[in-house]
Amino acid sequence: MARKPIRDLTLEEQLARGPLDLPFLMLVALLTGVGLIMMFSASYASAYYDSSDMVRNNPMYYIQRQSAFALMGLAAMYIVSRYNYQNLRKWSPILLAGAILLLVLVLTPLGYGKKTVGAQRWMKMFLVAGPGFQPSEIAKVAVILFFAARLSKRDTEKKKKFTRRTTTGRCLNWLEKVGFLELVPYGAVLAVVIGLVLLEPHMSGSILILVGAGAVVFVSGISLKWFIGAAAGVGGLLALVIRFTSYMTARINLWRDPWLDPRGDGYQTIQSLYAIASGGLMGLGLGNSRQKFLYIPEPQNDFLFPIVVEELGLVGGLLVLLLFALLILRGYWLALHARDKFGTLTIVGIITLLAGQVFLNIGVVTNLIPNTGISLPFFSYGGTALMIQLAEMGIVLSISRQIPAPRKD
């Protein structure tokens, strides 16, 4: 099918064909490439010694699967980047409804994982067959798009007015004046989504959904007092849970001193710290990690960054973090220059979600925060998660296509 000449395109079609932001694209490609190399290095030994029916001592098992998903993810990123992001406004409610449906289905017999890892977070991509994926990954971006689509119109919406003749009406008018009623639908959506995610249970997924949604709400102009109140409420509730729940108290104590149980729950953290320390300034060399030889459990997953530092040293670890920092800063730059508020809010949500995931993963492997089971974007093993992350980067690139060109005076 022949492409339409530029002069025959509508304004929207012309805007959607603008140039991609090359710095952002190159940073994503670079992180994906480095991530594949380090995932291969971290997974080689554990795959070689894994005699399960799935792996069968094949040292190439993880890298073959991850590379295939990376190629599909890059293709998805390109396709999404060519899609006019303005259409995501009308699709966002449908995407959110679909994500909620999947979160419900994963709790049924269609979901799996409970017997092996203690949580039922996965389901087959085609419900009964195909690779596994976590519906919470879809829920993260669905919530961001839904919030961005609604909040981008808040400046043009008229405030609701209720009758002043009744006590109920006067109370509703006051709640509307202070901004509480505006937050009700967003709070209801978060309550449903996070409630379903916690039932899996998946604490890290719940945290990331809150981070992405909170960033969108904050940038939209919602009063800061609501964030302070919410933080105080959540903090107080968490303190009570830790104080009166023996399991949480034990977990906090173990975080403060992993050597309380060096051969049990503290083992992974201790081995992670050993790996980081043994890397020194310049590292042991690519592929020369010692901790990946069955010391750190499943080093290709959440605890991949210690292998990076052990092999590439403090310098290599800082360079990886620098790449993430540049990607995040470039993303926020694109948000500031986006064509409209919907584009700004969408990028802010996606990039803050990425930044939060990087921070939490590094915090866990360095024992800065308790273990929450959060993977490192572009690095940790997980094919469908990588595809979804690259598709999210495609949304950012789609928005970058429509950034107005600088005026030439």
DSSP assignment of 110-165, as one string?
A: TEE-HHHHS---EEETTBSSS-EE-HHHHHHHHHHHHHHHHHTTTTTSPPP---SS
Per-residue confidence (pLDDT) for residue 14, from 0 to 100: 57
Q: From CA 96, how far away is CA 145, in angstroms rounded? A: 8
State how beta strands 122-124 and 132-133 pair: antiparallel
Collapse the DSSP code of 205 into the 3-class scheme (helix H, G, I; strand E, B; otherwise coil) and give the result: helix
Per-residue confidence (pLDDT) for residue 132, from 0 to 100: 77
Q: From CA 151, how far away is CA 345, in angstroms rounded? A: 8
Both tokens assigned to 244: 């009166």
Q: From CA 196, how far away is CA 206, in angstroms rounded? A: 9
Q: DSSP letters along 318-358, please? A: HHHHHHHHHHHHHHHHHHHT-SSHHHHHHHHHHHHHHHHHH
Per-residue confidence (pLDDT) for residue 331, from 0 to 100: 97
Per-residue confidence (pLDDT) for residue 254, from 0 to 100: 81
Other C-beta atoms lying within 10 Å of the C-beta of residue 256: 10
Per-residue confidence (pLDDT) for residue 252, from 0 to 100: 79
Q: How far is CA 113 from the centre of its chain?
A: 20
Both tokens assigned to 263: 């051969």
Per-residue confidence (pLDDT) for residue 154, from 0 to 100: 79
Instruction: Compute φ and ψ for 133, nearest 5 degrees.
Output: -150, 160
The secondary structure element, H or E, covering residue 48 is: helix 22-48
Q: Could you give the dihedral angle defined by the CA atoms of residues 380, 381, 383 and 388, in that order, rounded to the nearest 10 degrees?
A: -20
Q: Could you give the dihedral angle defined by the CA atoms of residues 354, 357, 359 and 365, in that order, rounded to the nearest 10 degrees?
A: -140
Both tokens assigned to 40: 């291969």
Per-residue confidence (pLDDT) for residue 157, from 0 to 100: 65
For helices 22-48 and 61-81, angle between their N-to-C axes, nearest 10 degrees: 160
Per-residue confidence (pLDDT) for residue 1, from 0 to 100: 42
Both tokens assigned to 163: 């009758």
Per-residue confidence (pLDDT) for residue 127, from 0 to 100: 61
Per-residue confidence (pLDDT) for residue 381, from 0 to 100: 94
Say if pTM beats, i.e. exceeds, 0.85: yes
Helix, strand, coil percentages for the chain (3-state, nearest 5): 65, 0, 30
* Residues in the chain where the model's pLDDT stays below 50: 1-2, 6, 8
For helices 135-151 and 383-401, angle between their N-to-C axes, nearest 10 degrees: 20
